[in-house]
Chain A
Amino acid sequence: MLVTPDSQAISDAVIYKTNSFVFSKWNSALVVLSLLFSIPLVIVLGSLFFPETEAWSHLADTVLTDYIFNSLMLLIGVAFFSVILGVIPAWLVTMYRFPFSRYLEWALLLPMAMPAYIIAYSYTGMLDVAGPLQTSIREVTGWQYRDYWFPEVRSLGGAITMLSLVLYPYVYLLARAAFIEQSICVLEVSRTLGCNAVDAFRRVALPLARPAIMVGLSLVVMETLADYGTVQYFGVSTFTTGIFRTWFGLGNSMAAAQLSALLLLFVAVFLYLEKRSRRQARFHHTSSRYSNLLQQQLNKGAGLCALTFCALPMILGFIIPVSYLIDMALDTYLHILNKDFYLLLFNSLSLAFATAILALLIALFMAYSNRNRNSSVNRFLVRFVSMGYAIPGTVVAVGVLVPFAWFDNTLDAFLTEHFNISSGLLISGTIVTLIFAYLTRFLAVSINTVEAALGKIKPVMDEVAKTTGMSSGGIIKRIHIPMMRGSLLTALLLVFVDVLKELPATLILRPFNFNTLAVRAYELANEERLAAAAVPALAIVLAGIIPVIMISNSISRSRAGNE
């Protein structure tokens, strides 16, 4: 160290400088990482600079209004029902005791393990005109097809129902966590001010939980926009089916990318408006005191109503389709449960697990960088990266395929020219590409969860720890991790379940001789061999149940003071 007359001042300066250097190193790593995962999005958005006038005038003349109308209806419908099915049960199981309420707490999450296309296939199998129910109606009554009215499963309304049934758990999950964390005093005070239980919910609990509900809802919105399997099977033309049709049917991948870019812009505007609408009110809890949450016992009638309302989404979204799948699987499982099947199971689980861990680590890194240096650029980058959730898996896959292949080909050309070695495709067509695509799609989930958790740790806690001489590493290990454990587990498991269900990106990017449960279920279902598809579909659902129950438990424990 330099010895100078004013060494104290200098050493202060050195320390200061070191600090800012550390921060900027962290920060540049954050920027690099965000840019890396932005590449697929940038490629999609970049397509807007290559106008496809002819294709667009055809789309505008013929199908575009249909796409927009159906997508909007689907979006509004799914958002509406997800909120109704998610928020009200979350409130009921948090605040009241009624028959089975303890079981419903976690059972309400179960539909989350159900891929949308599988529930769509199941209900079609049961309720379609040629399905067992309608067939027996005709047999028993002697009616013909046109003699009676029966709701059409494969319709816009059906698509809204199917997607709501499997997506409402996202809203339920976040709303419940928010209700659990709310200070009971705030609700009680509203009662003293003349609010009855319903008013207290509507005027206080609901607005307080709004940020959490909106996070859940934006996941629902993005999943809905990205869904292809269900709407395609139901013959509902949406933006997403339009993207595929433009690409596959018209062979115009540029116009298809432009449609995706529009979708992305729509999501960006939605997220921005939501954020802006609550900029004024910050939702810090002013209270740090928690009194015990005393769940009120409902009387028989009210309890029965609550039970019905809470059980319905779970029965429709899980019990019925799973029973149907089990019934189908009983015919076929003997042919399917072989060594090959266990390999599929292993592939699915290990991919999901690896991705979940990576997503968690990256999300932690990003959240911490943002906490250390909360610049608007950083925030924008992190927001931008999380938009990948809204893009259909196929489009993400192509966004990943293009740059990776470019990198491999460029490297190969370079090595061939200078060293006369051909490296071929290094990373394209490997698991790395696949996991990268998963991360691009699902980082949003882990980032949102981790950021929310970290936001709850007030800087003063760090300061307290520092005064006891704890190092930064120690603070993270002894204070942050224990405080965030529940949320980190949730982030991990959400991504795990999402990857388990993921189909289109897997289909496009997977290496030779590598299949997952989702791919197998899809290929069989797509060949219209539903009975054979039931076993892998069930395996996806069952493998997803355990993490889903774990998520629920970690949330129940998240309430301060609760064991």
Chain B
Amino acid sequence: MNKAININDVSVSIEGRSILENISFGLEEAGIACLLGPSGCGKTTLLRCIAGFEKQHQGEVWIKGVRVSNPTHHLPVEQRQIGMVFQDYALFPHMSVADNITFGLNNQNAKTVKQRLDELVELLSLQKHVNKYPHNLSGGQQQRVALARAMAPRPGVLLLDEPFASLDVELREQIARELRQIIKKDGITTIMVSHNQLEAFAMADVIGVMNEGRLLQWDKAFKLYHEPETSEVANFVGEGVFIPGVVINEKEVKTEIGNIQGVTPHGVALGKKVTVLIRPDDILHDDDSKMTARVKDKAFRGAEFLYTLELETGVRLLSLVPSHHNHPVNEPIGIRLEIDHLVIFPQID
């Protein structure tokens, strides 16, 4: 229990409907975590449960070594020392930027308040906007004010609910990286909620993938992508296709596009039928290769094309190909496998 946040077997239901089931994870001090999942998966409810807006009927929430809630005891929101940024920022429209930021500092002396305000204004580059009112700010500025307001009382934990949802798509990744720097500079433990994996990759040290009220996997981004524990995770994180295969030895699986070998043993019994995850970057385009597939569809992504390819057997694959290889639809092209991580799941029919 010495992590900054510990969630132990938490289940929540609202009006008789189960929203979260048996969620557990722990987050290190100063770590940034992202709860990732499609809308309705329960990630916001989990965030609100940590904040104290929802009550669980099972399990415990620990923040900084303090048990803030279990089914019978519930520390009120205002005593949990959390900072929260809401999806629409929820700035107080009747207060200036400065008053918004210092809202949570009302019990401290004027000098301390001023000092903290100056720090945050500088950290978030809000110097020009201190005396403005929220309705005069752009979306990005509003977000920074909301963040400054949440950080001002130096909360133990910062919670961000879809912090980028109201921003322009082009800006999201850039702002996410900036935000990460700011939060890292302050060393504050953070949990954010997002349905967008690129934002999650840009922001988080560790990502929890959620679906239908369950936490599927709690891991670093790289591992989620390359070593998903379930096909649901594989499906949600990154692109890819599943093809059938048969285990032929402790590290190798036979598929119709060839034998695929992993680095470490996969632990599945010999002769077992499995499903293999093939990522677009596992399939390389090679004009010299004997294996060919027909282009069925293609999406231009600037530096690369994402080709949808079809083998003669009708199995489809995805492949990322540098964009100077421009092939028309229906043309057969040569492909080659280059798989570092063998990801297999029990056969799905």
Binding site for B on A (CB under 8 A): 183, 185-186, 188-196, 199, 203-204, 207-208, 210, 280-289
* B84-109 CB contacts (< 8 Å) to partner A: 84, 86-95, 103-104, 106-107
Contact, CB under 8 Å: A204 / B82: no
Contact, CB under 8 Å: A192 / B88: no
Known A284-B135, A286-B142: A191·B90 in contact at CB below 8 Å? no
CB contact between B90 and one of A189, A195, A196, A284 (< 8 Å): that residue: A189
Does B122 lie at the interface of the complex (its beta carbon under 8 Å from any beta carbon of A)? no
Q: Which residue of A lies closest to B142 (CB)?
A: A286
Does B265 lie at the interface of the complex (its beta carbon under 8 Å from any beta carbon of A)? no
Separation of A210 and B94 alpha carbons in the complex (Å): 10
Separation of A192 and B103 alpha carbons in the complex (Å): 11
Contact, CB under 8 Å: A193 / B153: yes
A193 to chain B, nearest CB (A): 3
Known A192-B82, A284-B135, A286-B135: A183·B90 in contact at CB below 8 Å? yes
Most central of B82, B93, B95 by chain A CB within 10 Å: B93
Separation of A185 and B159 alpha carbons in the complex (Å): 14
Convert B150-178 into 0s and 1s, putting 1 for each residue whose CB lies closer than 8 angstroms to a CB of A.
10110100010000000000000000000
Does B133 lie at the interface of the complex (its beta carbon under 8 Å from any beta carbon of A)? yes
Does B328 lie at the interface of the complex (its beta carbon under 8 Å from any beta carbon of A)? no
Does B346 lie at the interface of the complex (its beta carbon under 8 Å from any beta carbon of A)? no
CB contact between A282 and one of B78, B106, B135 (< 8 Å): that residue: B135
Contact, CB under 8 Å: A286 / B103: no
Known interface pairs A283-B94, A288-B88; 5 further A-B residue pairs with C-beta atoms within 8 A, sorted by A's residue number: A189-B86, A192-B82, A194-B107, A281-B133, A282-B133
Residues of A within 8 A of B51 (CB): 188, 192
Residues of A within 8 A of B273 (CB): none
Does B195 lie at the interface of the complex (its beta carbon under 8 Å from any beta carbon of A)? no
Summed over the interface, the residue pairs from A and B with CB atoms below 8 Å come to a total of: 94
Contact, CB under 8 Å: A190 / B93: no
Separation of A338 and B302 alpha carbons in the complex (Å): 88
Contact, CB under 8 Å: A286 / B149: no
Q: Ordered nearest first, which 4 A-B pairs have the shortest CB separation?
A: A193-B104, A185-B90, A191-B77, A192-B84
Separation of A208 and B100 alpha carbons in the complex (Å): 13
Convert B59-84 into 0s and 1s, putting 1 for each residue whose CB lies closer than 8 angstroms to a CB of A.
00000000000000000111111111
Convert B19-61 into 0s and 1s, putting 1 for each residue whose CB lies closer than 8 angstroms to a CB of A.
0000000000000000000000000000000011100000000
Does B213 lie at the interface of the complex (its beta carbon under 8 Å from any beta carbon of A)? no
Convert B292-312 into 0s and 1s, putting 1 for each residue whose CB lies closer than 8 angstroms to a CB of A.
000000000000000000000
Known A281-B133, A284-B135: A204·B92 in contact at CB below 8 Å? yes
B22 to chain A, nearest CB (A): 24
Q: Which residue of B lies closest to A192 (CB)?
A: B84
Convert B104-122 into 0s and 1s, putting 1 for each residue whose CB lies closer than 8 angstroms to a CB of A.
1011000000000000000
Interface of B is mostly: loop
Residues of A within 8 A of B88 (CB): 183, 185, 286-289
Separation of A98 and B106 alpha carbons in the complex (Å): 31
Contact, CB under 8 Å: B150 / A192: yes
Contact, CB under 8 Å: A196 / B78: yes
Residues of B within 8 A of A285 (CB): 93
B249 to chain A, nearest CB (A): 54
Residues of B within 8 A of A190 (CB): 92, 103
Q: Which residue of B lies closest to A281 (CB)?
A: B94
Contact, CB under 8 Å: B104 / A194: yes
Known A192-B84, A194-B153, A282-B135: A287·B90 in contact at CB below 8 Å? yes
B80 to chain A, nearest CB (A): 8
* B235-259 CB contacts (< 8 Å) to partner A: none
Interface CB pairs A-B, < 8 A, 9:
A189-B146, A190-B103, A192-B51, A192-B84, A192-B155, A194-B81, A203-B106, A281-B133, A286-B90
CB contact between B92 and one of A191, A208, A282 (< 8 Å): that residue: A208
Q: Which residue of A lies closest to B83 (CB)?
A: A192
CB contact between A186 and one of B90, B142, B159 (< 8 Å): that residue: B90
Contact, CB under 8 Å: B93 / A283: yes
Does B134 lie at the interface of the complex (its beta carbon under 8 Å from any beta carbon of A)? yes
Separation of A283 and B93 alpha carbons in the complex (Å): 6
A186 to chain B, nearest CB (A): 5
Residues of A within 8 A of B153 (CB): 193-194
Residues of B within 8 A of A199 (CB): 78
Separation of A332 and B269 alpha carbons in the complex (Å): 97
Separation of A415 and B78 alpha carbons in the complex (Å): 78
